[in-house]
Amino acid sequence: MQTQRLALQISAILATLIMSFQPAWAAAVNPNAARGKKVIYVYNQTKLEKARTAEPTDPKRIAQLESWRKNDEDAMQFLRSLGFTVTGANELTAVDAAKTQDFVIISETVDAVDVGTKYRNVTIPLLTFENDLLGELGMTALKNGRDYGTEDEQRFIWLVNAPHPLAAGLAAGIQNVLTDEHCKMNWGKPGLGAVTIATVRGEPDKAAIFAYEKGATMNGEFLAPARRVSFFLWQDTFDQMRPEGQALFKAAVLWAVSPPE
């Protein structure tokens, strides 16, 4: 009995020591980090209206754009449910509008050529779904198909950094994040200064979720002006996220606006 009791005491001491030396990034993300924070959500606000008034009308195109709009509106509502105050913006909104905000989110529905590098140097956290902007933001190199891209027929990711708060407490390995096996999934190949959270299933060099801490080295020795996150969503996949995907998105936005470690 004494030997067993001693073993239990030693185990308890070891557990305490392990927890005391646990790195800061292994802590859970603050669930209240969004409260009082202001978000500018950049998305396309004109394609649907133009399609509805075009002659002749294209019902298939209108239905597609309505789906994209609904996904953006639902994403903004989700952010509000976390405590964010959300302001919608479009590609042509002046970057100065971000100066009064705490966080920038760029949707996949934007026309990347109309956004360009305008948000590259903003000194507030930024999360993007639009992989065509990863190069302009300095988060990857610039070649489409090599440094960033989109995979078809995807619903799984491979979680490679489970202890990180961006992993939302999910287990390492395969995670089913989307409801439809025919979804598109964006990816990028980040620089060495990034933390990679998940990759596209079967494509270990294609990061589905990755991030940079403020001051981390991004592409071309560009230092992140604030936290930066790339998330795998496409135009119509916010509404197709399973609970695992929603948990990862929640973790991503809350981590982005939390104070750097």
One-letter-per-residue 3-state SS of 195-223? EEEEEECCEEEEEEEEEECCCCECHHHCE
| pLDDT class of 28 with cuts at 50, 70, 90 | confident
Note whether residue 199 is domain-resident. Answer: yes
d(CA 136, CA 120): 7
d(CA 245, CA 65): 22
Note whether residue 18 is domain-resident. Answer: no
Contact 201, 147 (CB under 8 A): no
| pLDDT class of 214 with cuts at 50, 70, 90 | very high
pLDDT one-digit tens code per residue, 163-206? 999 999 999 999 999 998 889 999 999 998 999 999 999 999 99
Distances (CA, A) of 210 to 62, 66, 195, 244, 247: 33, 29, 6, 16, 15
Amino acid at 79: L
Note whether residue 60 is domain-resident. Answer: yes
Note whether residue 195 is domain-resident. Answer: yes
The confidence score (pLDDT) of residue 18 equals: 31
The confidence score (pLDDT) of residue 121 equals: 97
pLDDT one-digit tens code per residue, 124-171? 999 999 999 999 999 999 999 999 999 999 999 999 999 999 999 999
The chain-wide mean pLDDT, for the chain, equals 91
The confidence score (pLDDT) of residue 19 equals: 33
pLDDT at 9 over 70: no
Query: Which is more confident, 17 or 146?
Result: 146
User: What is the mean predicted confidence (pLDDT) over 86-114?
Assistant: 97
Note whether residue 52 is domain-resident. Answer: yes
Tokens of 15: 């557990």
- Looking at the structure of the chain, the number of domains it has is 1
> CATH code at 212?
3.40.50.880
d(CA 148, CA 141): 8
- Other CB atoms within 10 Å distance of the CB of residue 78: 17
Cα-Cα-Cα-Cα dihedral sign, residues 134, 136, 141, 145: positive
pTM of the model: 0.88
pLDDT at 260 over 50: yes
Contact 53, 220 (CB under 8 A): no
The confidence score (pLDDT) of residue 140 equals: 98
Contact 105, 39 (CB under 8 A): yes
Q: 131 is in which domain, residue-wise?
A: 30-257
Note whether residue 24 is domain-resident. Answer: no
